[in-house]
Structure formats: C-alpha cells, structure tokens
Amino acid sequence: MRILLLVAATAGLAFAAGPISASGSNFTLTGNGMSYLFHVDPSSLDLFSDHFGGPVDDFINPATIFQGGWSDGLTNDRREFPDIGRSDYRLPAIHISHADGNTVSAFAYQSYEILPGKPSLPGLPATYGNASDVSTLIIRLYDNYSDVSAALSYSVFPSYNAIARSFQITNNGSANITIERAASFSIDLPNLDLNMLELQGDWAHEMNRVIRPVQYGETSFRSTEGYSSHVHNPFFALMSPSTTESSGEAWGFNLVYTGSFAATTERFSHGFVRVLLGLNPLHASIPVGPGQTFTSPEAVAVYSSEGLGGMSRSFHDLYRNHLSRSNYTLQTRPVLLNSWEGLGFNINQSSLDQLAQETADLGIRLFVNDDGWFGQTPYARINDTAGLGDWTPNPDHFPNGLGPYVGDVDSLTVENSSQKLEFGIWVEPEMVNPNSTLYNEHPDWALHAGSHPRTLTRNQLVLNLGLPEVQDYLITAISNVINSADIRYIKWDNNRGMHELPNPAADYNYMLGMYRVMDNLTGSYPDILWEGCASGGGRFDPGILHYYPQSWTSDDTDAAERLTIQMGTSLAYPPSAMACHVSAVPNGITQRNTSIEYRAHVALMCGSFGFELNPVELTAEERAAIPGILADWERINPIVITGSFYRLALPDNSNWPAAQFVSANQTVAIVFAFQQRATVKPAPPPLKIAGLNATARYTSNLYNGSLSGSTLMNAGINLAWETADYQSMLIWLYRQ
C-alpha cells in the first residue's frame, strides 16, 4: 500500500522521514555509512548533485569554476538528471526526440513525495522491501516546452548503503515522442581521481577484472547483443587508486536488467565525473505515445568505505534479502547431477534410467535431464539442428511421455539417505530452430528485420518475446511440460545473442515480455528451483536474479579457470546465486587435469553444487572421494547460502588464491585455499583470515589449541603445501 506522507512544492519547510530528509528543496538520503545529497538549483530548477559517499551532515558550497568563455552554463554544474540541448555538452541521462524533430529537453523541478517502503516497477525486475527496510523519494519534473513529465525514484536501503534509482517519462502532449537514451543511474561526481573496474570476457571466459583510469572524455563499455552478455557485465565499480579489497572508498553500480546496456563515465574539462548506467542507445528509440509512460529499468549503487570487499558484501546481502524473490534464495540447494557432459544428445529412456540409477547410487539428490528430450520426427532434437520451439517429449525416447519416466526416476532411493531421487529438466524457451513445427507455423514469431536474411547462430533464431502471442505460447508450453511430470528443477538456457531486430526498441519490449513470462511461471510454480543460463554466464545479471535464485556461472568447468570466473562474478553477485559443478578430467575445454578434491573445493564455494559427468567414467579413487565431498557439502552449503564472503587472494595475482565465508551467526568460518602451480621458491605468503572477532579465540581442523581472531587476521596462518600443481585445502575455524 502506498502511503503519501507529504507532497510539497518548493515551500521552505523541513521534513524528515527515516533515512530521507527534505529541507526546502535540499534532499538528503542517509545509510548507516553513506550519505547521498542533492538539491534544486533555484534559478534553473535543475537538480544538482552535492555528495555521494561517506556520511556528511551539511551541504557545502560547490567547487568554484571559472564562468564564461566557451564552456558556460549547465556544462559547469554537477547535475542529477542531465537532459540535452541547453548548454550541457556532456552525455545526457535522458535524450528525447520530439515530433518536430528537435531533441532539446528542459526538465524543471515541480514537487517531491516521500514514501515508506518501495513501489514495484511495472513489468520490470527491481529491489523490494517494506517500510523498515527502505524509503523512497519521488522527484517530479516537467518540461514546459514539450509537455513531457519525469518522475525520478530514489530508494535508500540504509543497512546496505544502497540507493536504487529508476525514472518514468510521461508524454503529456498530443504528439509522439521517442526515448533515444535512458540512463537509470546518473550522477556527477566531483573532480576525484578514480579508477573504473569492470568485468569483461566471452563464452567460457566470463567476468575477468579490467581496471582503467577514468580519464578526460568517455570511459565506457556496453552490450549490443540484446542481452546483458558475457562480453561485459552491467556492473562496474569506481574507486580511488589506493582502494584495496579491504580498505578505501568504492562505489558499485549495477543495472537490474537483462537487455543491451551502456555504462559510461565522462570526465569533462573541469574534472567532474559524470556516471551513466542504463539502456544502450543503439537499442532504444522507444516510442511513447500521447498519455503513455516509459519506465526505465532500475539501477542500484552501493557505497563502501571498506574497499571492494565491503562493496561486494553490500550487494550480496541486498540481493539475497531484497532482490531475489525465490523460495530458495535463502535455502540450501540439492546436490545435482546433470546429464549433458555425460551423455550429450545420446539419450533415450534406458540410457537416462541408467544414469539416474548411478546418480542415486552416488548419494546425489537431484537428476537433471539436459538437452535432447523433445521434438518429433522430422524435427526430433537428436542434434542441434532441429527441435527448439517444440516443447513436447520425443516419442522415440519417451513413448509414454515424461510422466512415467520421471515416475521411474522418483522411485529411486538416494544412497545413504531415506530420500527419493528428484528430477529436473533443461529448456531453452526463447529460441527456435527453423527445423521445427513452431517455426513452420509461425515464421513471423522469430526476430527479423524486413527482408534481411535471418542470421543463424548454432542453427537457431530468437523468438520475439515482445509479441504477446509468443509470451502466451511459452507460458502454455512450459506449463504443460511442468504439469506433465513431477519436475523439481528447471534449467532455463539461452544460447545466442540477437541479430536482426525489427526496430531498436524491440530489445526493451522483448525484456518486458521475457519478464512477464518469467514472472508468470515462477509465480505459478514457486516450488520449482529455477536456474538461469545463457551459454554459461551470458545473462548473470540482477534482472534474472530477481526471478531465479541461481544462474549457471560458466560453461568453462575447469576448476583452475573457474576460480577467476567465480571471484569475478562475486564482485557484484552473491556466491549463493552461482551454480558450479564438478566435471570430468581432462577438462573438455582446457584439457587440464586436476584432482576431484580441487574441483569439488572450487565448486563448493557456490550455492548450487553438482556434478556434470558420467559416473561410469569415474576412477575408483574419484568414486571413493565422493562421500567425503557430499559430507563437506552438507556442512558448507548453509554457510555459503547465508554467510558473508571474503576474497582473500585472487588467482590473477597470486599463486595461492583463497576465499572465505563467515557464517551468518559469526561462529564458524570456512576458508578455501588453493595452490595453482608447484613452486620451489618463493614461500607462500601467510594467509590472513578476514571477518573474525579480534578478541575471540578460534579452534580449527588445521592446528591444535586455539588462536585469537587478531592473530588469524593480522599474522595469518602458514599452510604446508606439497610441491604439486592444483592443490586445495578446506580450513574450518570455530569460535570458542
């Protein structure tokens, strides 16, 4: 319920509601360790940024800038919601084409209101919370010359030092307008020395850190793939050059959106740094008719004075408690075995029954049937040239449908437990093969642009989820699969980017449609464990995390490479949301051999742990190790799901990477330590533990007696590594 606390124009009264206060037209948003200040400039009625950083109590004068000369007017101001065409030469947050062809906007402050809690965003994923978690400030602006109104929304989550922003543009005129650019988060920071950290990569190579200075001009990256993509993630951090993992200032920005995006900083001649995160202008040009409203996706920013680690833990806690809506977000996830790397397309009821039996015999609780189960002759999904779109079981493999087959799987008892095996299945609903009944019946449902050839990737096309009939088809088709059998888990894959779009706005409309489908299916089937996937980590973003509690992190399951990928992913996303599996060696992508313990220790750092191999190919030693790994999982998984995560050393710059969780109740810490290559010299540096109580004492599986938190954090511990590649250790610390 929305309670209107106050509507005020520019009257000079002061008002405070929890973490938001309005003094006249000075606005202050306060977190436990963060302040965000801006005000209305009385002469222009523009919004000017004052501060985003550590706690402050007062508004201070802006920097003195030489006025006059060529760069005059608004380009010298620090603006909150920059528009275009009136003396500001920098990139705008909002860029509108009007019916007469001009692109000038002049948004002027009108009023504000403060709401307890946070309204939902129509049709889009967003953070949420009640009045004790979050407060929202709405600022209303109006462009008198074009009859366009804007409502900016600022929601502050004080416990996480986080601000969530979005805006709406309403066309109050009688002609059409077009949104050419929309940056959900925009702020002008002072002339600070800053570095930008982002995550770049590709398929099987996701989430590699890149750090570059925020120089004069633009420092930017984007996705034009239609999706958030492997190549760049819609996340970046700004930090001072001296910021480390555990100290210094860091600002993290993340777009709650799965489509194309753009992230930009622009340093102008005065040194002020404009920050913009929102839609990619190449996939915008969104028409807004008279009386209609455009809603931007949401962007979240967090401030940390405790380095990148503090920033990450704020994101992790915010996302687990106030973004991801699933029943499973704060629950342990069953260990699973996925059929893909073991069987590929070589599936039929007997090969699957055998694999399910092997799964149960190993003590694994969930069996996942990957690709290859659907489609009918002539479009049977027996290879990747056919079948996507036809979501009915292949009668050659499942003559009696999925129900009886899943019944057989469910009848198996998991070794060393009283539980029955559970069943999960793979789907890729947003895609279609031209070799399918669906495509033959509805060729117009695939994304296409006029008569341009429809470019195939992996023999498939992308359905236009902006079309209501496509959304309805997918809701019905996937609901029918779920209703036909006892399905406990669904892996929702998506294996290519978008090519020919009918118009640039089709990407935004696709996302609204995709979110409608995901909202419907997760709402109808809340007890299914949903996992996002896009050729690995191609859509590891907060938009998907709103609906699905976990995402497949990368198709690269080489544990040595996974350390880099998982550490990168953890900058913004909680390890509890990562899906990570032990696969066979030599690894299918890198040909690297590592022990099953090393592979398991890397994968156990994730919320969803599993195996992706054919059990009959396990060696005797590997098979013998599995009960111990499952026992470790039993103790570790609850701590990964709700504990705090610390990166102790990165594989990019240490031969001895390590990471650590502290349990939510602070009594247990589990440290994952690795040695990548055998070395004679130098000695490994001491491993300094983080997040402990300095005055408490800790016992461990590593040493006799106890050590103080201070000792463990400041002197650290020395681990006795063998002279061998790819070693790993689990170190438990128990507070006395």
Ligand X SMILES: *[C@@H]1O[C@H](CO)[C@@H](O)[C@H](O)[C@H]1NC(C)=O
Give 91's DSSP letter: P
For the question of residue 555 being annotated catalytic, the response is: yes
Q: Is 458 annotated as a binding residue?
A: yes
Q: Is 491 annotated as a binding residue?
A: yes
Gap between the Cα atoms of 677 and 668, Å rounded: 29
Gap between the Cα atoms of 285 and 39, Å rounded: 30
Which of 191, 459 has the CB closer to ligand X? 459
For the CB of residue 710, give the shortest distance to ligand X in the complex, in Å: 11
Which of 417, 665 has the CB closer to ligand X? 665
CB 371 within 8 A of CB 345: yes
Which of 173, 271 has the CB closer to ligand X? 173
The beta strand positions in 32-176, using DSSP E, are 34-40, 47-53, 94-97, 108-116, 135-143, 148-157, 162-171
For the CB of residue 292, give the shortest distance to ligand X in the complex, in Å: 9
For the CB of residue 519, give the shortest distance to ligand X in the complex, in Å: 7
For the CB of residue 440, give the shortest distance to ligand X in the complex, in Å: 11
Catalytic one of 493, 507, 556, 558 = 493
Q: Is 493 annotated as a binding residue?
A: yes
Q: Is 76 annotated as a binding residue?
A: no
Which of 195, 351 has the CB closer to ligand X? 351
Sign of CA dihedral 38, 41, 44, 48: negative
Gap between the Cα atoms of 315 and 303, Å rounded: 10
User: Interior CA angle at 553 toward 551 and 554, to 5°?
Assistant: 135
What does the H/E/C string look like for 373-401?
CECCCCCCCCCCCCCCCCCCECCCCCCCC
For the CB of residue 73, give the shortest distance to ligand X in the complex, in Å: 16
Which of 71, 459 has the CB closer to ligand X? 459
Q: Is 41 annotated as a binding residue?
A: no
Provide the 3-class DSSP secondary structure of residue 548.
Answer: coil
% helix, strand, coil for the chain, step of 5: 20, 30, 45
For the CB of residue 526, give the shortest distance to ligand X in the complex, in Å: 4
For the question of residue 353 being annotated catalytic, the response is: no
Q: Is 495 annotated as a binding residue?
A: yes
Q: Is 420 annotated as a binding residue?
A: no
Gap between the Cα atoms of 230 and 460, Å rounded: 19
Q: Is 486 annotated as a binding residue?
A: no
Which of 361, 519 has the CB closer to ligand X? 519
For the CB of residue 120, give the shortest distance to ligand X in the complex, in Å: 14
Q: Is 653 annotated as a binding residue?
A: no
Count of CA atoms in the C-beta half-sphere (13 A) of 430: 26
Token pair belonging to 98 = 């009007």
CB 304 within 8 A of CB 52: no
Count of CA atoms in the C-beta half-sphere (13 A) of 343: 25
Footprint of ligand X on this chain (CB under 6 A)?
12, 23-24, 26, 39, 45, 59, 108, 130-133, 142, 144, 149, 170, 172, 175-176, 289-291, 327, 346, 348, 350-351, 378-380, 382-383, 385-386, 434-435, 459, 475, 520, 523-524, 526-527, 638-639, 663, 665, 667-668, 693, 695-696
Which of 472, 652 has the CB closer to ligand X? 472
Q: In this chain, which residue has its C-beta nearest to ligand X?
A: 24
According to DSSP, the β-strands at 148-157 and 286-288 are unpaired
Q: Is 371 annotated as a binding residue?
A: yes
- Of the candidates 297, 283, 296, 81, which has an alpha carbon nearest to the alpha carbon of residue 168? 296
Which of 71, 520 has the CB closer to ligand X? 520
Catalytic one of 133, 390, 555, 556 = 555
For the CB of residue 335, give the shortest distance to ligand X in the complex, in Å: 17
Provide the 3-class DSSP secondary structure of residue 507.
Answer: helix
Distances 506 to 234, 463, 503, 511 between C-alpha atoms, Å: 19, 11, 6, 9
Q: Which residues are annotated as a binding site for substrate?
A: 203, 370-371, 458, 491-495, 533, 555
Which amino acids are annotated catalytic?
493, 555
Q: Which residues are annotated as a binding site?
A: 203, 370-371, 458, 491-495, 533, 555
